[in-house]
């Protein structure tokens, strides 16, 4: 992983074969002091795709009871990664295609880059956000 910062607050992250996507984005946020921001673009290929998604309309208090976890191997073409960074912590979603199906959900740790990845992070100055548990234990953005 290598990252580059422009004078206007954009951080470009290059992911190389074998890098872990979310872990590398977290590292880039730390290295470039991204407290509040947005991942505005993300593309690449993964050999391991770990995501979760909510598959129900009733929301039990325990997140493990409302989420479906997918751990998928193979050649995944990542068509989009985006989301918000609050208090330095990314909350990202991903869409990927393996030639037969398209899946999407919350990006989890352990997504290994197959060929490459390119991520654009936009720092947002003058705003400090964090996530706090809200109704039904749903993580909500709040101003600090």
Tell me the C-alpha distance between 25 and 6, whole Å: 16
Would the pTM of this model clear 0.75, i.e. be above it?
yes
What class has domain 2-143?
A: alpha beta
The alpha carbon of residue 74 and the mean position of all alpha carbons in its chain are separated, in whole angstroms, by 19
Structure tokens at 25: 């984005």
> Which residue's structure tokens are 């673009």?
41
The 3-state DSSP composition of the chain as helix, strand, coil percent (nearest 5) reads: 10, 60, 30
> CA 31 → CA 17, 44, 115, 127, distances in Å?
21, 22, 23, 19
Tell me the C-alpha distance between 127 and 139, whole Å: 18
pLDDT at 138: 79
Q: Of 124, 129, 133, 126, whose CA–CA distance to 143 is shortest?
A: 129
> CA 35 → CA 89, 130, 144, distances in Å?
8, 9, 11
pLDDT at 60: 65
Along the chain (144 residues), what's the average pLDDT of each consecutive run of 10 residues?
Answer: 97 98 98 98 98 84 78 98 98 98 98 98 97 84 94
Structure tokens at 132: 């706090």
Where do the domains of the chain lie?
Answer: 2-143
pLDDT at 137: 74
């Amino acid at each position: 992983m290598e990252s580059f910062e422009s004078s206007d607050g954009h951080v470009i992250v290059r992911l190389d074969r074998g890098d872990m996507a979310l872990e590398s984005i977290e590292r880039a946020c730390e290295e470039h002091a991204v407290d509040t921001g947005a991942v505005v673009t993300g593309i690449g290929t993964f050999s391991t795709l770990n995501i979760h998604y909510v598959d129900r309309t009733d929301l039990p208090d325990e997140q493990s009871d409302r989420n479906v976890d997918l751990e998928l191997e193979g050649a995944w073409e990542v068509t989009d990664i985006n989301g918000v960074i609050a208090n330095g912590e990314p909350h990202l979603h991903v869409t990927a295609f393996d030639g037969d199906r398209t899946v999407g959900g919350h990006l989890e740790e352990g997504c290994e880059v197959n060929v490459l990845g390119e991520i654009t992070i936009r720092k947002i100055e003058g705003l400090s956000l964090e996530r706090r548990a809200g109704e039904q234990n749903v993580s909500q953005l709040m101003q600090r």
